[in-house]
Amino acid sequence: MTDSWGSTGICQMTVKTGGGREGGWVCSLRPDKSHGWQGYCAHCCDWPSDSKLASLLLLPKVENMKKILVPLLFLLPSVCGQVGGLRTNKFLTFSDMTWWEAQSTCRRNHTDLVSIRDEKENQNFASGYGWIGLHQVDSNLPWKWSRGDEIATFTFWKSGEPDAGDHCAFKEQSSGEWKSDSCSNTHSFMCPDERLVLVKEKKTWEDALDHCRSMEALDTSKPVSAYLNHRFDLATLITQDDHDFAREKAQEATTDEVWTGLRYLAGEWMWVGGETVEYQDITSCPTEKLCGVLEKNGTRKYGRSDCENQMNFLCYRKN
């Protein structure tokens, strides 16, 4: 293991694997009076598929010591390399609740109750049943989807539905058709199992990273950790469809740009999740304080912004 420090407080560390190949960790750290060195790490590596993955442990600050990174080896699959395919049609079905309880559960643990906006999406959820996100405030107002408060332009009502006195919709298990019911009755319900999540909170890039990594533990038997045990990260966008899907998600953002996992560190751009940056036209920067964004209404695959700016952000669940 070797490490080096740049003039901007960036540490770059290289770890040699058993096969002789190298994996590099780049960390942005700053001294903290209470907790020693604080910051985050990204890895840019070329691990063989059967190698051990090097993770990092941040130790308390030691006076006049910059070697504060200790590699720990775990028998885990490599996280390096491309991770694409953020668009998914998977969903999870849960036991009986009222519509309002189901909405709250989906919003807390996923995104919202399932939305079915066209025939293709209806086919994607063909095997699902129970409450969906369709509801209306009263009989004089249109039916809307819970997520985004979007007016429904596609419906799949059973003959004779909806009933004027019912204001929430569920998908019948036997026919797959939709029926209305009182929102206070209980049914099973569907939440989308999405890999890409838009968080509509305004945070700096580093705070956004902490938020994503605190969403879910990789090993649920242990506490979530931003360094060793997290399933989510700031989003990596690889394929064209990843970028298109992310921009679709960003339409619901409250800011014109959203953070992604792209960060300029130690003289190069990298995805904080460890995937390879494949943008051909990306240029180096005179400062380490720039982070990657996706423009809500733009066409470029990436943009740059001061990491201290506050905006909404995209988190993604790793495979």
Using alpha carbons, select from 29, 107, 85, 41 the residue that is nearest to residue 317: 85
Would the pLDDT of 101 be above 50?
yes
Query: What is the Cα–Cα distance from 204 to 22, expressed in whole angstroms?
Result: 32
pLDDT for 42-90, tens place per residue?
Answer: 554 433 333 333 333 333 333 332 333 323 222 233 344 344 578 876 7
User: Would you say residue 110 has pLDDT above 80?
Assistant: no
Task: Indicate the pLDDT class of residue 41, thresholds 50, 70 and 90.
Answer: low
- Distances in Å between the Cα of 310 and the Cα atoms of 134, 143, 235 are 32, 34, 16
pLDDT digits (tens, 9 = 90+) for 215-271: 878 887 888 876 678 888 999 999 999 999 999 989 989 999 999 999 988 778 889
* Residue 12: predicted pLDDT: 43
> CA triplet 123, 124, 126: central angle to 5 degrees?
60
Which ranges constitute the DSSP H helices of 64-159? Answer: 99-109, 119-124
Whether residue 161 is predicted with pLDDT greater than 70 in this model: the reply is yes
Average pLDDT score over residue span 91-120: 88
Q: Which residues make beta-bridge pairs with 240?
A: none
Q: What is the mean pLDDT of residues 117-127?
A: 87
Mean pLDDT for the chain? Answer: 77
Q: pLDDT value at position 45?
A: 44
Residue 227: what pLDDT? 66
pLDDT number for residue 26: 52
pLDDT of residue 308: 95
Confidence of residue 40 (pLDDT cuts 50, 70, 90): low
- The predicted model gives 2-9 an average pLDDT of 43
Number of C-beta neighbours around residue 72 at 10 A: 12
DSSP assignment of 237-298 equals --SHHHHHHHHHHHTT-SSSEEEEEEEEETTEEEETTSPPP--TT----S-S-EEEEEETT-
**Percent of the chain with pLDDT strictly greater than 90:** 40
User: Max Cα separation, the chain?
Assistant: 77
Q: What percent of the chain has pLDDT over 70?
A: 71
Contact 211, 203 (CB under 8 A): yes
Residue ranges of domains in the chain, CATH in brackets: 2-74 (no CATH), 91-192 (3.10.100.10), 196-317 (3.10.100.10)
* pLDDT reading at 315 higher than 80: yes
What are the percentages of helix, strand and coil residues in the chain, rounded to 5?
15, 35, 50
* Alpha-carbon span 196 to 244, nearest angstrom: 12
Instruction: Write the pLDDT tens digit of every residue in 164-222.
Output: 899 999 999 999 999 999 999 999 999 988 889 888 899 999 999 998 988 878 887 88
pTM: predicted TM-score of the whole model, two decimal places: 0.61
Is pLDDT at 292 greater than 90 in this prediction? yes
pLDDT at res. 27: 55
Q: How far apart are CA 50 and CA 288, in angstroms?
A: 33
The larger pLDDT score, comparing residue 179 to residue 5, is at: 179
Alpha carbon distances (Å) from 190 to 7, 99, 110, 240:
51, 11, 10, 28
- Does residue 195 or residue 33 have the better pLDDT? 195
